[in-house]
Amino acid sequence: MKYGIDALQYATLRAKLSAPLKRDAHADSDCRYHVRSLYFDAFKNTALFEKLAGVRHRKKYRIRVYNFDASYVKPERKTKLGQYINKECTTLSRDDIERIMVGSISFLAGSKNPFLRQFYTYCRCELLRPVVIVDYYCEAYPPSNQ
């Protein structure tokens, strides 16, 4: 679940969480990491409208990079079924990611990776294209057993 909080609530919550919990291994010195996502959608913006309408079973594709590290860029599929969420991802070279971003995806059709073949098929059938970039900082505290 995601909830909006104001600055005072954030400061209070952060102080309470940061004492007993360890910092995420991917975080910077301020306990945050940067996330940039390039989201794909169909020509009718199906993914956007399904999210806004609260459709309980949906999926979306994105390309994600963490902490501005161009060597670690990955295509992902997030599937939501009611309250359950599944995320699948793989890695590709920067050159391959750039080809996808400009719509040159035919090379994915022959991939040995099932995720990439599914992405290719979905792009062709649903006419997916990159539509929006979302940037944010995340502050995460992993479970103590990790």
- Residue 28 has a pLDDT of 76
Domain count, the chain: 1
Residue 27 forms part of a structural domain: no
**Residue 119, SS3?**
helix
Collect all residues with Cβ–Cβ distance below 8 Å to 43 and sequence separation of at least 6.
127, 129
CATH code, 47: 3.20.100.30
Residue 96 forms part of a structural domain: yes
Which helix (H) or strand (E) is 116 found in, with range?
helix 114-126
pLDDT at 1 over 70: no
CA-based max dimension of the chain: 52
> pLDDT tens across 53-110, in order?
999 999 999 999 988 888 888 999 999 999 899 999 998 888 999 999 888 999 999 9
Amino acid making up residue 114: P
Residue 6 forms part of a structural domain: no
Sign for the pseudo-dihedral over CA of 102, 104, 109, 113: negative
Domain that holds residue 93: 32-138
Residue 115 forms part of a structural domain: yes
- Residue 138 has a pLDDT of 84
